[in-house]
Amino acid sequence: MSASEAKLATIRKLLAQAEDAAASPAEAETFTAKAAELMARYGVDRAMLADGDETVDAIADRVIRLDPPYALDKIGLLSGIGQALGLHVVQRTGFGVRGKEISALLFGYSSDLERAEILFTSLLVQAARGLAAARVPTHENKAAYRRAWLAGFSTTVRLRLADAEQRARAEATEAASTSATGRPAELVLADRRHVVDQRFAEAFPRLRSAPRRVLSGSGHGDGIVAGHRADLGGAALPTRRRSLGR
């Protein structure tokens, strides 16, 4: 097992501990800091190993279907994760046998696509648990509260991931890490962002921005608190995407 694989295995183990029903919020928070740190370092490791050889970590895309309920709110969470990890996320709307269907196309380096899907799968589970425990104020619309809760949760997760990514990049730069081709970490990581942006613009030259959503529920603050408690490690990718309820 390589060092990067071992790091990812450790992250998965931390997440399993955090998702244990017996784990207290305080214990989950303890796992969070270490898991987020390791996930960010794993991303840097993969970038440095792949420098100069796109076959090692190619630019690709991946489609993730967003099941109801709260499909648009789930894409908000996925977009925040993707943004923090250097990906572009495109919302796609279509119609199938079940009516309106929403999915997201993720675009970027394969290792970052992997990290994003791992995190999204894990955070959906954690969001479902948090929503189940949240108390909707009397006489407030439950769906409105939950949408606002998910928005607060997603915003906090994005900020925490972005902070972890920035720290990992700074540490690699300070350590004078060099890639397989001898280039410094700062240059390698900056080039990756530039390449992703350029390839994305070429692939989607006429893309439009989604309209900004307006939420009325009071759950935003509770979602922010839950986002601070969320574990940012990574789990395996079985079919564990739990419903968020109605």
136 within domain boundaries: yes
Domain that holds residue 165: 3-229
In a domain, 240, yes or no: no
Query: Would you state the pLDDT for residue 88?
Result: 96
Confidence of residue 180 (pLDDT cuts 50, 70, 90): confident
Task: Kindly state whether residue 18 falls inside one of the protein's structural domains.
Answer: yes
Mean per-residue pLDDT, 5-11: 83
Q: Is 85 within the bounds of a domain?
A: yes
Most confident of 34-43, 137-146, 186-195: 186-195
User: Could you tell me if residue 157 is inside a domain?
Assistant: yes
Q: How confident is the model at residue 242 (pLDDT cuts 50, 70, 90)?
A: very low
Residue 25, in any domain of the structure:
yes
For residue 245, pLDDT beyond 60: no
Asked if residue 239 is part of any domain, the answer here is: no
Asked if residue 86 has pLDDT above 80, the reply is yes
Least reliable range by pLDDT among 56-60, 63-67, 124-128: 124-128
Amino acid residing at 241? R
Assign 3-class secondary structure to 178-242.
ECCCCCEHHHHHHHHHHHHHHHHHHHCCCCCCCCCCCCCCCCHHHHHHHHHHCCCCCCCCCCCCC
**Considering its fold, how many domains does the chain have in total?**
1
Predicted TM-score of the model (pTM): 0.81
Question: What pLDDT shows up at residue 217?
Answer: 55
Is the pLDDT at 183 greater than 80? The verdict is yes
Region 74-92: what's the mean pLDDT? 94
pLDDT of res. 39? 87
Confidence (pLDDT) at 107: 98
pLDDT in tens, 136-176: 888 888 888 888 899 898 998 899 889 999 999 999 999 98
Q: Note whether residue 241 is domain-resident.
A: no
Q: Confidence class of residue 108 from pLDDT cuts 50, 70 and 90?
A: very high
Output the average pLDDT for the chain: 82
